[in-house]
Amino acid sequence: MNDATSPLAQYQAWLARGELGYQVDAHGRPVFFPRVLAPAGREGPLSWRASRGLGTVYATTHIAPKGEPAYNVALIDMDEGFRLMSRVEGIAADQVRIGLRVKVRVRPAEGDADAYPVFDPVEDAA
């Protein structure tokens, strides 16, 4: 990808291909969310990699707005060593549990909304 393209645009390009992209520093340590420069304590330049898409629910809560379907918000620890906030679909919002193994699925861009990653439970993540 073009180095002049913003990190957000590069991240969206990964998602458009159905992949969860993340950055690594000069020593191969993961960096997420996408950024222009390496954060404090890390060395640049940053480069991009594709995640295998497997992770574990680190924390979760479910929200049940009156008159609307319940949904969850979850922090997912990816196997590559970074964490992101998303949601787990495919099971009831109140059934998402810490330690649940999940796999990423990309929700495509629609209208004014950009593509974004969501997760589905996996029985065998090996």
61, 73 contact by CB (below 8 A): yes
What is the pLDDT at residue 123?
Answer: 77
**The pLDDT of residue 71:** 94
- Regarding pTM above 0.85, the answer is yes
The mean pLDDT values, 10 residues at a time, for the chain of 126 residues are 76 95 94 90 90 97 94 97 96 95 94 94 71
What is residue 4's predicted lDDT score, i.e. its pLDDT? 62
Sheet holding 21-24, edge to edge: 30-31, 21-24, 47-50
